[in-house]
Structure 1
C-alpha cells in the first residue's frame, strides 16, 4: 500500500469511528476571571475531547503601596486555552489539562508617599523624578493549565458550562522615571538605577506570594 493509500485509509477509519461514537461539537459563551469570550469543544468519544477557549476584555483599577511609593494600576486580562478533556463518567463532568496563553498585566504609576522619594534612606526630589511608570506582569507566555468542569456535551441542545483551574504565575516588573532622571549624566543616576531595580524586586517579591492564578468561568453552551 502506498503512503497516500495508507493516509486515505486512516482518514476513512477515523471518520467511520467518529460517526460510530456520535461525536459532538459544543459552542459556549463564557465569562470569568480572565474576561468574557467563547469556548469551543469537540468530543470525539464518550470519555475524551479537546477544547479551545479565548477570553479577554476584563479591566479594573487597583492600588498598592510599598514603604516608599504609592502605586495606581490599570489591570488588563486576557487568555487563550487549548486542552485535552477527560470525561471519567461519560457525562458532563470533565478533567482538563493542557496549555494556556495568559496576558495578565498592569500599567502602574507610582508617586512618593511624602514630598520626596526615599529609597534605602536616600532622598530624591519628586519634582526631579516625576512619577515612577512601568508594567507589572503576573503571567505571560505559554503556561501549563489544569482544571475541572462541567460541559453538557454528552447530549444535544442548550446547557450550562462551568470550569475552574489554575495556571502558574511568573511575575516581572519594569519601572522607569517619567522624566528620565536615572539616564541623566549626574552623580545620582547610577545609584538611582540601582534603587529602582531594588524597588522592582520588592514588587516582584510581593507578586510571588500568588504562585498560581485562579481561572474560573461560567456560561451557556449549545451542543450540535
Structure 2
C-alpha cells in the first residue's frame, strides 16, 4: 500500500512541473521521511523542420556570339532580293513628258519628302520643237533628227513645296541630219558664193562628242489631286562640241566661182562640201542643249 501511494505521489509531482525535476523530492510517509532525487524527465517536442526553398534559375545576360547570325543565308538573300525588287517595281511615281529632248517618260523613287530619284528616256524626231532649221554661217540648214536620251537624275524640293531643282546625267545618242538650202541659186560658204546648180545637193550629219552630258534644271511640280500632278522644267545639258559630216551628191563635179578679186576659179563640189562641214563644226550647234519640257505625273 505504501508503495502504491509513493508511486502515485511521485508521478503527480513529476508531471506537475518539469522545472523541478532537477531538485530533490521529499516524500513523508507517516513518521518516516524519504528523500528521492528524481531524474529529470525531459519532454522534448522536436518539430521536423519544414524547409520551403525556391531555387530560382540564375538569369544571366551574357554576350552570345551567335546572336543575330543568319543560318539560312539562302532565304536571307532571296528575301532581301525580293524586298529590293518590290521597291523597284513599285515606284513612287510615273511621268509622261514632251520637250526639247524628245517625247518620253520617267519613273521616280522617293527617298524622302524632298528628294526623288528619276530614271527616264526622251527621244524621237523633235526637229520641229527646235525650229526645224538653223543657220551656220550664211547657209540655212533643214534639220531632221532622231533623238535618244536616256537619263538618270535627282529632283529636289528645297522649300518643300512645288518649286523643284533637278540635276543628273544624260547618255545622248542623237542623230541629226541636215540639208543645205540654196539662197538665190547660190551657196554662200566661207564668204564665197558657189552656184548651187553646179554644187548640187549638200547633205550632212551632226553628232555631239559628249557620251555623258550633265544637266541641270529648275521647275515646278504642283499637285492637282492626291495622285495627279503637272510639271514644267527649264534648263540645259552640256552636249559638247559637234562633229559634222557634209557630202555633195557628186563630189567630183566641177564648180566655177569668182573670188573676191574678180578672178574666175574652179573647184569641186566635194571641196565646197568640206568648207560647209567646217562651218558646221565651228557653229557648235546645240553645244548647250536647251531643256524645256512639260508633263504630267501619277503618284502611287
User: 1:118 offset after TM fit, Å?
Assistant: 6.6
Structure that is richer in strand per residue: 1
Give matches, 1:124-163, under 5 Å: 126-137=196-207, 141-151=211-221, 156-163=226-233
Once the two structures are superposed, residues 54-79 of structure 1 have per-residue CA deviations (whole angstroms, 9 ceiling, x without a partner) of 22232323253644x55333344442
1:27 maps to 94
1:44 maps to 111
The CA distance in 2 between the partners of 1:137 and 1:195, in whole Å, is 21
The CA distance in 1 between the partners of 2:244 and 2:177, in whole Å, is 10
Give matches, 1:1-12, under 5 Å: 5=73, 8=76
Q: Is the 8 A contact 2:185 2:197 kept in 1?
A: no
In the comparison of the two structures, how many residue pairs are matched?
211
RMSD: 4.1
1:96 maps to 166
1:86 maps to 156
| Structure 1: runs of 5 or more not aligned | none
Q: Is the 8 A contact 1:98 1:146 kept in 2?
A: yes
The equivalent position to 2:127 in structure 1, one of 54, 59, 74, is: 59
Give the structure-2-normalised TM-score: 0.55
User: 1:167 offset after TM fit, Å?
Assistant: 0.3
The CA distance in 1 between the partners of 2:276 and 2:297, in whole Å, is 46
Q: Is the 8 A contact 2:250 2:270 kept in 1?
A: no
User: 1:114 offset after TM fit, Å?
Assistant: 5.4
The CA distance in 2 between the partners of 1:83 and 1:120, in whole Å, is 41
The CA distance in 2 between the partners of 1:161 and 1:125, in whole Å, is 49
| Structure 2: runs of 5 or more not aligned | 1-68, 254-265
Q: Which has the larger radius of gyration?
A: 2
Distance 1:159 1:124, change over 3 A: closer
The CA distance in 2 between the partners of 1:24 and 1:152, in whole Å, is 19
The equivalent position to 2:245 in structure 1, one of 153, 174, 187, is: 174
Q: Is the 8 A contact 1:105 1:139 kept in 2?
A: no
Once the two structures are superposed, residues 185-211 of structure 1 have per-residue CA deviations (whole angstroms, 9 ceiling, x without a partner) of xx956xx65553332221222235x54
2:290 maps to 214
The equivalent position to 1:203 in structure 2, one of 258, 266, 280, is: 280
1:71 maps to 141
The CA distance in 2 between the partners of 1:117 and 1:179, in whole Å, is 16
